[in-house]
Structure 1
Amino acid sequence: MTFLDDIRDYPWTSLLSGILPAPLSARLPRQFQPTTTQIVPSASIAGNALTAVIGIMTFLACLTAGGVYMINQSANAWVDDIASEITIELDPIDTANIEKKMTLVSLFLAKQKGVTRVRPLTAEDSAKLLEPWLGSTAALSALPIPRLIAVEIDRSSPPDIDLIKSALSRNFEGVTLDDHRRWQAEIRLITRSTALGGLAVLALVAAATIAIIVSATRSAMASNREVIEVLHFVGANERFISSEFSRHFLGLGVRASLAGAFAAVIAFLLLPFLMQLLGGGAVTEAETRRLVGSGVLDFGGYILLLLVVVVVAALCMVTSRFGVIRVLRTYA
């Protein structure tokens, strides 16, 4: 018999009775009630402290997974926006008639294949882009601020950026094209670093959960040593005894992880309010929203939290089973 056989033979219909409190479990229909009597007392395993610790671990894992998911979604949206636009910069120095040059360059760009929209920015628009760093001051009007042209491109049929860049350099002096490739590479680097950091945190949470379950398994077996010895005496094998313990720990893991995931859902629902409350000004709030988006998890994010619950419950079941088998072999 293998571990897959244990999963197939597990009384999944009675799992709900192990998750709910005893008063509610007693009111469930007969098909959801356990069909066999529990040999190992559940009170000796499903301690409140162990439930709280696993719930906290699940809460931290859900926060990490949800945070990395939101940052990844925001970064992907940001990269898509950057990839759909290029910027043309006109040097204002030694340019007698910058407005005429802006018009000529805009007309030239509008004729290029794959360009969907050309939007010349006024001098006031260019100055507003510097306000988050230099502030709103009248000295900005005296500075030789480069003039910008925002060009939206068709992502399904993009133009030849290198061809447009060479054509601009041949026909216009002091005109440069920025396709934001450097920014895209930096955003991807930050996203990957965040994802690796999140995976490291999840690995630490999983390791801590496994260590806690192993310790709890040993403690439960020590407190039920007489029961286990009697089972050995009447001919019970390792699989039967380990399944009794893993059944308890699976119900404990599901109950604790659902509580932790529910707390994480509440935290994510309150996140937009906290972002607005602790925004620290319009610029800081805008930068925060660029990093984590609106702060709201979508459907895929909540599916990810549910996956964390499944993983934590599976860790509880698998770790307890192998822990019991390892201890039982020391009895022989």
Structure 2
Amino acid sequence: MSTPPPLAAAPEGVETEAAPEAGVTGRRRSAARLLPPARLASPIPWVIAILIALVVIAAAGGLALRNLTATARADLATAVSVQVIEPNPDLRAARGAAAVKVLTALDGVKSVRQVPEAELAAMLEPWLGEGVSGSEVPIPALIDVELSGKAGPQQIARIEAALAAEVPGARVDAQGDFLRPVYGALAALQWLALGLVALVALATAAAVWLATRNAFAGARETVEIMHLLGATARQIAVVFLRDVLREAALGAVLGALTGAGAVWLLGQQFAALDSGMTGGGTLLLGDWLVIATIPVAAVMLALATARITIALALKDML
């Protein structure tokens, strides 16, 4: 009788037999050793880092604009401006004093302050030039009024009615109305930041999708061997997802640190302006917690994208 030929040697790292209780674990370890150690393209962590940094900066900008808008609305919600327009300086001063007296006696008025003429001239100096006074240019008398409640249309009408008898021609405006175009611009910038976040999320998913497809195509023959050895689609996917998790987490952490550093530097620059308008746009603790979820969400998005990509590729192959 002829001697049967010897069995072919098993590929390196593949267990030919495994105990029943450790069969699944043995196949999984064998599958992990069969695949090459680096399956994703090396630039992927850096691409993810750049994209996450952009998301952090955009999100921080949107949150700061939201805080700025909320602060401005709160500060000006109860503020009213009264202008006494009169060419005659003496009559203008008398009517301004009469307006202050009427406003002080009204219910719901918290404080009244007539802006000094010198302060008005200083504010108008960039447009009117230096040394301009109310006797040379008919600058209206300006009175700042703070109400105990919100300056709505009914409150404005009540103040106008009270001033009509004593100060004819007085103009009453809610200070918040002057900033309505600014509020609209800030809202548009917030939507722009949100759109940028969505676009960068799509770009991150596309980068992970391309990298996973390339990695799977490069290891296609090895995956077929793994399948013949008994590895399930889930076990094969876990091997790929492990690398996706590692590289996505690395890129997300680098991007989050870079973006947070850029946001901090920008915050220092705006704080140096010492402006009341920019002071309301600081980031609060809740905002930083929202920003901290960005790298976590990026890793979850990368894992979900890679899982779907591998599942579709395995479905077409197996």
TM range (shorter): 0.7 to 0.9
**Contact 1:82–1:184 (CA<8 Å) still a contact in 2?**
no
Distance of aligned partners of 1:62 and 1:187 in 2 relative to their CA distance in 1, 3 Å threshold: same
**1:167 corresponding residue in structure 2:** 162
Distance of aligned partners of 1:192 and 1:295 in 2 relative to their CA distance in 1, 3 Å threshold: closer
Please say if 1:100 is aligned against 2:94: yes
Please say if 1:193 is aligned against 2:179: no
State the one-letter code of the partner of 1:56. Answer: I
Distance of aligned partners of 1:128 and 1:328 in 2 relative to their CA distance in 1, 3 Å threshold: same
Q: Within 5 A, what are the aligned runs for 1:66-215?
A: 66-94=60-88, 96-131=90-125, 133-134=126-127, 136-141=129-134, 142-155=136-149, 160-215=155-210
**How far does the alpha carbon of each residue in 1:80-113 deviate from its partner, in whole angstroms, 9 at most, with x for none?**
1111211010113246432232222112112222
Q: CA deviation at 1:116?
A: 0.9
What secondary structure does 2:38 align onto? helix
**Contact 1:119–1:149 (CA<8 Å) still a contact in 2?**
yes
What secondary structure does 1:137 align onto? coil
**2:315 corresponding residue in structure 1:** 329
Q: Within 5 A, what are the aligned runs for 1:15-94?
A: 37=29, 39=32, 40-45=35-40, 47-94=41-88
Question: What is the rounded CA distance, in whole Å, between the counterparts of 1:146 and 1:210 in structure 2?
Answer: 59
Q: CA deviation at 1:309?
A: 1.1
Question: What is the rounded CA distance, in whole Å, between the counterparts of 1:296 and 1:164 in structure 2?
Answer: 35
**Contact 2:223–2:236 (CA<8 Å) still a contact in 1?**
yes
Question: What is the rounded CA distance, in whole Å, between the counterparts of 2:182 and 2:45 in structure 1?
Answer: 39
Structure 2 runs not aligned, ≥5 long: 1-27
**1:10 corresponding residue in structure 2:** none
Question: What is the rounded CA distance, in whole Å, between the counterparts of 1:97 and 1:191 in structure 2?
Answer: 41
User: RMSD between aligned alpha carbons?
Assistant: 2.5
Q: CA deviation at 1:286?
A: 6.2
What secondary structure does 1:152 align onto? strand
Q: CA deviation at 1:295?
A: 6.6
Question: What is the rounded CA distance, in whole Å, between the counterparts of 2:138 and 2:150 in structure 1?
Answer: 37
TM-score of the two chains, using structure 2 as the length reference:
0.81
Q: CA deviation at 1:296?
A: 4.6
What secondary structure does 1:176 align onto? strand
Q: CA deviation at 1:185?
A: 2.9
**How far does the alpha carbon of each residue in 1:18-54 deviate from its partner, in whole angstroms, 9 at most, with x for none?**
xxxxxxxxxxxxxxxxxx8581555222x44111010
Q: Within 5 A, what are the aligned runs for 1:199-238?
A: 199-238=194-233
What secondary structure does 1:160 align onto? helix
Distance of aligned partners of 1:286 and 1:135 in 2 relative to their CA distance in 1, 3 Å threshold: farther
**Contact 2:56–2:294 (CA<8 Å) still a contact in 1?**
yes
State the one-letter code of the partner of 1:205. Answer: V
Aligned residues: 286
Distance of aligned partners of 1:233 and 1:135 in 2 relative to their CA distance in 1, 3 Å threshold: farther
Q: CA deviation at 1:150?
A: 0.5
Q: CA deviation at 1:129?
A: 2.2
**Contact 1:114–1:153 (CA<8 Å) still a contact in 2?**
yes
**2:290 corresponding residue in structure 1:** 304
State the one-letter code of the partner of 1:70. Answer: A
Between Structure 1 and Structure 2, whose CA radius of gyration is higher?
2
**How far does the alpha carbon of each residue in 1:166-192 deviate from its partner, in whole angstroms, 9 at most, with x for none?**
222343212110113433432331222
Q: CA deviation at 1:154?
A: 1.7
**Contact 1:168–1:176 (CA<8 Å) still a contact in 2?**
no
**Contact 2:121–2:132 (CA<8 Å) still a contact in 1?**
no
Question: What is the rounded CA distance, in whole Å, between the counterparts of 2:84 and 2:234 in structure 1?
Answer: 76
Identity %: 24
**Contact 2:160–2:170 (CA<8 Å) still a contact in 1?**
no
Q: Within 5 A, what are the aligned runs for 1:1-20?
A: none
Question: What is the rounded CA distance, in whole Å, between the counterparts of 2:165 and 2:237 in structure 1?
Answer: 78
Q: Within 5 A, what are the aligned runs for 1:257-272?
A: 257-272=252-267
State the one-letter code of the partner of 1:236. Answer: A
Question: What is the rounded CA distance, in whole Å, between the counterparts of 2:37 and 2:177 in structure 1?
Answer: 58
Question: What is the rounded CA distance, in whole Å, between the counterparts of 1:216 and 1:270 in structure 2?
Answer: 33
